[in-house]
Chains A and B, each alone.
Chain A
Amino acid sequence: MDQFFKASDLGVIGPELELALFGMIVLVFDLLVKNKRVLGYISLVGLAWSGFFLFRLYNVIEAPAYGGVLTLDPFAWFFKAIFLVAAALSVAISIRYLDVERENHGEYYALILFATMGMMFMVGAMDLVTLYIGLETMAIATYVLVGFLRSSPRSNEASLKYFLLGAFSSGILLYGFSLLYGIAGSTRFEVIRDVLEQRPLTDPLSLMALGAVCAGVFFKIAAVPFHQWTPDAYEGAPTSITAYMSVAVKAASFAMMVRLFMLALFPLRPHWVTIMSVVAALTMTVGNVAAITQSNVKRLLAYSSISHAGYILLGLIAANETGMIAIPMYLLVYTFTNLGAWAIIVALRRKDVIGEHIDEMSGLFFRHPVAAILMLIFLLSLAGIPPTAGFIGKYFLFAAVIETGHNVLAVIAVINAAISMYFYLRIVVAMFMQEATEKTGLDLSPGVLVTMAVSLIFTMWIGLYPDPFIAMARHALGL
């Protein structure tokens, strides 16, 4: 524990090392091979390899490394698995898509691998500095990825916006961290918790720290009122990156929140519960209401992802056993469902067809019934209609708030769930009840097909028989 580095610590970060290694291999091969698709396959191998290393660590209960700044516990393991799956599926839908956009370059895959690595460090961090380094590794790689369509002004604008606001929010977060360090004299989460426990609840310094940290993380999870960047960034980014951001980056940010708020800032819970209740109610409502008026599917799903962040906050607000299971469960469900939906939007993007406007989905059922039915299932899952996975996710969140007596919040949440159905149904109407305006088929590459199939299997499996996944989530929390 005291010794900063032991040889065995390398084993703990094995999966991360794999990713870094493969990221560099991709960069080297970028110079050697003409066909950039090969790089996509190499990075898939890298993710699989890393997954294999991670799999061997499944039974680790608690493995502090590097003198305790990092740890590998079941919680970190669960989220790392989500990141790897999300990254792999995002790479799979990218390979053909980047050709269509004429932007197939090696850095793309390397950046995804590095970003994933950053997330994996984030979720393992038990220390403010380690957390921040992981966060920035992820964030900077994502800024570049958002602007990856260099010839598209929309993508450039999105990237710049995301970068400026992201840098600003990272600054605020860092300011909060520095205050915490000033209070506790240490960057370790446990020490910070112990010190905060000693101080009175009304201590202005801790409140300032809490405020700054909250603002920073709310930005990262795109909670109202710090959500403004999301629609622009999601719309401008390459669709495959939007998919990646909406699941992996979001999951990483929530994992970070759980660590910060349930450990380091737990003594301030009376304060942050109030803040989060307001933010959650606003986030759900604003996200859903704004989504109603959108006619661009990417923007629509961006707003819907804002509202989903609001739902997930309910888990932290409840903070009991059900609530804690709800967060990893919901993120797992959301990963598959959302990636499935995005995969179909990627498939709509073809040569000379942007495929983002809601009208461009009209009559999808007549052109490609299977894709339309899959999209229907994913949308129902996003809205939380049984027997899809989305219902199981929402079930845990609603159950958690009811169990802890946050009844008003529960009512707001379920009304929002009903509102969200309205705009998901708009896509359904376009797909099933309008004439096809576009005659060309879909661009279904093998990667997209695999992603759709995997997403469908898990969306239905979690929806119909969630026991194994609930057991995994419980294991992740050491229950």
Chain B
Amino acid sequence: MDFFNNNILSIITFWPLAGMLLLLLIPKESTTLIKWWANIVALSGFLISLPLWFSFDFDGDTMQKVVNVPWIQALGVNYHVGVDGISLLLIMLTTLIAPLAVLSSWDAIQMRVKEYYAFILLLQVGMLGVFISLDFFMFYVFWEVMLVPMYFLIGVWGGPRKLYAAIKFFLYTLIGSVLMLLGILALYFAYPTIAASHPEISSQFGTLPTFNVLALQAIGPYLSETLQFWVFLAFFVGFAIKVPMFPFHTWLPDAHVEAPTAGSVILAAVLLKMGTYGFLRFSIPILPDATVYFVPMMATLAIIAIIYGALVAMMQPDMKKLVAYSSVSHMGFVMLGMFALNPNGLNGSIIQQINHGISTGALFLIVGIIYERRHTREIAQLGGLSNVMPGYAIVFLIMTMSSIGLPLLNGFIGEFTIMAGALQKDLWWAVAGGAGIVLGAAYMLWLYQRTMFGKLDNPANQNLKDMNWREWATLIPLIIMAFWIGLYPAPFFRALDKPVNKLVATVKAATPPAAPQAAREVR
């Protein structure tokens, strides 16, 4: 049991890999067995991640469940894993979303079933690996590993323009990540000189070049401003493409629309969070001066994303594309809160990441349910569905409300906290954010009205069946989560308290007097 407790992060991460390898042994004709197996692996993956939540010390100030063993000694690369509150929430989100995505594929995927589930499980390994890594090299490996299965999920099981969407996704992310690699290398080589002149750092992390994220965070404040500037830009490209921030968002609608439902769910709920997680874990703590310097740019891009994403979403004739653009807008909120760089903004930003995972993930599931029945996602083809699918209408309503931030539901908590943070920072940020919320309510409610209300005049919609037990099973956990965060968010804020305070302290302490001035000039 001690072994399990000490290595829980590795076990959670490599559990799906073990499941995938066993899945490869099942003959491809026995599709039912394959489906059952994949569901069991994903669900048990969630169950074994629960002890992580219960054994997590919410008052702990340092990384927990740390395992640090040498991997490539010649390069100073370690197998170094650990969690704090931020990664804890994202890991739990990943293990929760994965079984739902797998379950939602039961009927939707009829072709090449074995490979499909193999790739989904492999994808899960990559995502979890990203969130547990405390070694930059290892982080990069997982970050890239995740590209290949996602590429296949879109490219093989996607819609009509799947090849285009898949390759666009791959190349965008790859260009971002190779530039990020250069940034990582620059930090790696900058470490020894700084460590040499700061005994408190070298005594803890040694003097050799290192990829240890904690060591790099320690040297952060001493990095020269020029270096911080360029490394921040390199990281920015990598992470901003993933988030995606305006103007790097164009891959997202294509990928979302073409991907199969489960692919969209995972993409929206987890993959996008890897970008924001990158900012939180690396850019802000390692490069505090540059972070402060770039606040105006980041805020501008975030606000553009909020407004632009919402306006474009409003005009979409395709349900899935609408939800995809709403992601752009919501992730703009996340970035705005994050770069307010105060406790409220950061807390809200992280909670909103979880919320976005829950509500947008659910919305993609909802779109998938109607697509499986009607083989169209065009809003004009639908209408009045609440008459034939009352259960579906209720779930859709809850998730719409969650997405637009109605009190009692999760979205409200996130948006409220972000707005509080934005207001503390700058009135205009809050004004822009408020406009985004109004627009968000407009397009979501309009979507709901056009699809669910009105007369059921399209004969093809007459005999639609309501959700079956399997579809309920994919959505109920998300509904529960939406109400839990909406009614009692305290445990989540408690998990975030320590890491967020640390981030705020880093940014405050490291801000040299010159930097805010420079920031003002840019603005």
A403: chain B residues at CB < 8 Å are 185, 189
Rounded to whole Å, the gap between the CB of A211 and the closest CB of chain B is: 32
Contact with B along A372-385 (1 / 0, CB 8 A): 00000000100001
B188: chain A residues at CB < 8 Å are 399
Q: Taking A386-B144, A387-B145, A467-B73 as contacts, is the C-beta distance between A414 and B182 under 8 angstroms? A: yes
B519 touches A (CB below 8 Å): no
Which residue of chain B is the closest to A474 with respect to CB atoms? B74
Q: Which of A422, A432, A467 contacts B155 (CB 8 A)?
A: A432
Q: CA A391 – CA B147 in complex, angstroms?
A: 14
Q: CA A465 – CA B70 in complex, angstroms?
A: 11
Which residue of chain A is the closest to B176 with respect to CB atoms? A418
Q: Which of B75, B140, B147, B156 contacts A432 (CB 8 A)?
A: B156
The answer to whether B163 and A417 have CB atoms under 8 Å apart is no
The answer to whether B179 and A470 have CB atoms under 8 Å apart is no
Which residue of chain B is the closest to A471 with respect to CB atoms? B74
Rounded to whole Å, the gap between the CB of A413 and the closest CB of chain B is: 9
Report the stretch among B166-174, B249-257, B265-273, B370-378 that lies at the interface: B166-174
The answer to whether B141 and A402 have CB atoms under 8 Å apart is no
The answer to whether A386 and B182 have CB atoms under 8 Å apart is no
Q: Which of B145, B175, B189, B230 contacts A386 (CB 8 A)?
A: B145
Q: CA A395 – CA B74 in complex, angstroms?
A: 13
B178 touches A (CB below 8 Å): yes
Rounded to whole Å, the gap between the CB of A455 and the closest CB of chain B is: 19
Rounded to whole Å, the gap between the CB of A428 and the closest CB of chain B is: 8
Q: Which of B72, B148, B162, B182 contacts A470 (CB 8 A)?
A: B72
Most buried by B among A398, A411, A414, A470: A414
Q: Which of B269-327 contact A (CB under 8 A)?
A: none
B170: chain A residues at CB < 8 Å are 421, 425
Q: CA A217 – CA B138 in complex, angstroms?
A: 37
B186 touches A (CB below 8 Å): yes
Q: CA A471 – CA B171 in complex, angstroms?
A: 33
The answer to whether A418 and B182 have CB atoms under 8 Å apart is no
B443 touches A (CB below 8 Å): no
Most buried by B among A386, A398, A466: A386
The answer to whether B156 and A414 have CB atoms under 8 Å apart is no
B148: chain A residues at CB < 8 Å are 380, 385
Q: Which of B144, B163, B179 contacts A433 (CB 8 A)?
A: B163
Q: Is the interface of A mostly helix, strand, loop or mixed?
A: helix
Q: Which of A395, A399, A414, A422 contacts B179 (CB 8 A)?
A: A414
Q: Interface residue count for A (Cβ, 8 Å)?
A: 29
B71: chain A residues at CB < 8 Å are 465
Q: Taking A398-B182, A433-B156 as contacts, is the C-beta distance between A466 and B72 under 8 angstroms? A: yes
Q: CA A399 – CA B171 in complex, angstroms?
A: 22
B145: chain A residues at CB < 8 Å are 386-387
Q: CA A414 – CA B234 in complex, angstroms?
A: 12
A192 touches B (CB below 8 Å): no
A453 touches B (CB below 8 Å): no
B152 touches A (CB below 8 Å): yes
Q: Which of A356-412 contact B (CB under 8 A)?
A: 380, 385-387, 391, 395, 398-399, 402-403, 407, 410-411
A380: chain B residues at CB < 8 Å are 148
The answer to whether A402 and B75 have CB atoms under 8 Å apart is no
A415 touches B (CB below 8 Å): yes
The answer to whether B178 and A415 have CB atoms under 8 Å apart is yes
Q: Which of B141, B151, B152, B175 contacts A415 (CB 8 A)?
A: B175
Q: Which of B157-207 contact A (CB under 8 A)?
A: 162-163, 167, 170-171, 174-175, 178-179, 181-182, 185-186, 188-189
Rounded to whole Å, the gap between the CB of B396 and the closest CB of chain A is: 33
Which residue of chain A is the closest to B162 with respect to CB atoms? A433
A205 touches B (CB below 8 Å): no
The answer to whether B182 and A466 have CB atoms under 8 Å apart is no
B174: chain A residues at CB < 8 Å are 417-418, 421
Q: CA A387 – CA B170 in complex, angstroms?
A: 16
Q: CA A471 – CA B75 in complex, angstroms?
A: 11
Rounded to whole Å, the gap between the CB of B48 and the closest CB of chain A is: 24
A429 touches B (CB below 8 Å): yes
Contact with A along B199-238 (1 / 0, CB 8 A): 0000000000000000000000000000000100000000
B75: chain A residues at CB < 8 Å are 395, 470
Rounded to whole Å, the gap between the CB of B70 and the closest CB of chain A is: 9
The answer to whether B141 and A387 have CB atoms under 8 Å apart is yes
A387: chain B residues at CB < 8 Å are 141, 145
Rounded to whole Å, the gap between the CB of A231 and the closest CB of chain B is: 24
Rounded to whole Å, the gap between the CB of A29 and the closest CB of chain B is: 45
B162: chain A residues at CB < 8 Å are 433
Rounded to whole Å, the gap between the CB of A424 and the closest CB of chain B is: 10
Rounded to whole Å, the gap between the CB of B81 and the closest CB of chain A is: 16
The answer to whether A386 and B72 have CB atoms under 8 Å apart is no
B178: chain A residues at CB < 8 Å are 414-415, 417-418
Contact with B along A450-479 (1 / 0, CB 8 A): 000000000000000111001100100000
Q: Which of A391, A418, A465, A471 contacts B175 (CB 8 A)?
A: A418
The answer to whether A418 and B181 have CB atoms under 8 Å apart is no
The answer to whether A402 and B186 have CB atoms under 8 Å apart is yes
Q: Which of A386, A414, A415, A471 contacts B140 (CB 8 A)?
A: A386
B147: chain A residues at CB < 8 Å are 385
Rounded to whole Å, the gap between the CB of A384 and the closest CB of chain B is: 8
Contact with A along B391-424 (1 / 0, CB 8 A): 0000000000000000000000000000000000
A398: chain B residues at CB < 8 Å are 181-182, 185
Q: Taking A414-B178, A415-B178, A418-B171 as contacts, is the C-beta distance between A470 and B155 under 8 angstroms? A: no
The answer to whether A465 and B72 have CB atoms under 8 Å apart is yes
Rounded to whole Å, the gap between the CB of B232 and the closest CB of chain A is: 14
The answer to whether B74 and A425 have CB atoms under 8 Å apart is no
Rounded to whole Å, the gap between the CB of A404 and the closest CB of chain B is: 9
A385: chain B residues at CB < 8 Å are 144, 147-148
Q: CA A470 – CA B74 in complex, angstroms?
A: 7
Contact with A along B81-123 (1 / 0, CB 8 A): 0000000000000000000000000000000000000000000
B171: chain A residues at CB < 8 Å are 418, 421-422
Rounded to whole Å, the gap between the CB of B449 and the closest CB of chain A is: 39
Q: Taking A414-B178, A421-B170, A470-B75 as contacts, is the C-beta distance between A386 and B141 under 8 angstroms? A: yes
The answer to whether A467 and B74 have CB atoms under 8 Å apart is yes
Q: CA A407 – CA B152 in complex, angstroms?
A: 33
Most buried by B among A399, A407, A410, A466: A399
A418: chain B residues at CB < 8 Å are 171, 174-175, 178
Q: CA A339 – CA B300 in complex, angstroms?
A: 50
Rounded to whole Å, the gap between the CB of A337 and the closest CB of chain B is: 16
Q: CA A466 – CA B74 in complex, angstroms?
A: 9
The answer to whether B185 and A402 have CB atoms under 8 Å apart is yes
Q: CA A433 – CA B75 in complex, angstroms?
A: 38
Rounded to whole Å, the gap between the CB of A397 and the closest CB of chain B is: 11
B144: chain A residues at CB < 8 Å are 385-386, 391
A410: chain B residues at CB < 8 Å are 182
Q: Taking A386-B145, A403-B189 as contacts, is the C-beta distance between A429 and B140 under 8 angstroms? A: no
Please list 12 pairs of residues, one from A and one from B, whose beta carbons are closer than 8 Å in the complex, sorted by A's number.
A385-B144, A385-B147, A410-B182, A411-B182, A414-B179, A415-B175, A418-B171, A421-B171, A432-B152, A433-B163, A466-B72, A467-B73
Taking beta carbons and an 8 Å cutoff, which residues of A are in contact with B?
380, 385-387, 391, 395, 398-399, 402-403, 407, 410-411, 414-415, 417-418, 421-422, 425, 429, 432-433, 465-467, 470-471, 474
Taking beta carbons and an 8 Å cutoff, which residues of B are in contact with A?
71-75, 140-141, 144-145, 147-148, 151-152, 155-156, 162-163, 167, 170-171, 174-175, 178-179, 181-182, 185-186, 188-189, 230
Q: A386-B145, A465-B71 are in contact. List 6 more A-B contacts (CB 8 A).
A: A385-B147, A386-B140, A399-B185, A399-B188, A411-B179, A414-B179
List 3 A-B pairs, minimum CB-CB distance, nearest first. A414-B178, A470-B74, A386-B141
